[in-house]
Amino acid sequence: MIKRAGITRRNIIVVIIITLLLFGAGKLLLASGRDTLEDYPPEKRAFLRRLEAGRNSSPAPKYLTAPRPSSSPEPPRLHGIIEDAPPPFPSAQYHITNEWAGDIDGRYVEIFAGAMTSDLRQGLVIVQIDDPSPSAGGLFKTPTRAGLVRFVSAKGHLLTLRSDSGVEFVFDADSNRFQ
């Protein structure tokens, strides 16, 4: 009697095992392919050698290196009334005449005197405080529209300004108010 070959559970398991063995052997053959420089063509070998030499000898990019601390101390900050200092504001917006700088409550404060470029009749002071708080400092207009102002004297934190029309104002740097 002749037995017919049928699909049995045993045949399926054998096929799966053989397939897995062949798949694993193929991966091993691929992985063991080119693992030395000598397996590559001469041009590729030269390129890979240059690339490796560059990796070993070049310094880290600037954006990866930490900044080095300065060996020289920070220049001293100016105090008092300062003439001809370049203001940190656009001249198209503000006409700055001079500034006063000093320490108030342990913070460095710069106060700029002048007027709006668009309206030179309205004097103003701009207070900048060395403080990350967004509420620090501000722009303060003179109580009357007497023209462009400049600092003429300082007694402590009371700053006297004179307009180009001769009117004097006193600005209290402690409270950021005109008296």
In the chain, the percentage of residues whose pLDDT exceeds 90 is: 42
Least confident interval from 30-34, 81-85, 131-135, 137-141: 30-34
If asked whether residues 167 and 92 sit together in one domain, one would say yes
Q: Which pLDDT does position 165 carry in this prediction?
A: 95
DSSP-based three-state secondary structure for 86: coil
Q: How would residue 155 be classed by pLDDT, with cut points 50, 70 and 90?
A: very high
pTM reported for the whole predicted model: 0.58
Helix (H) or strand (E) holding 99: strand 94-104
Domain limits for position 157: 80-178
Instruction: Report, as an integer, the average pLDDT of 171-179.
Output: 93
State how far the alpha carbon of 134 is from the alpha carbons of 122, 128, 129, 138, in Å. Answer: 25, 11, 10, 9
Is residue 4 in some structural domain? no
Final residue in a domain of this structure, among 24, 40, 64: 64
- Listed in sequence order, the residues at least 6 apart from 176 whose beta carbon sits closer than 8 Å to its beta carbon are 127, 138, 140
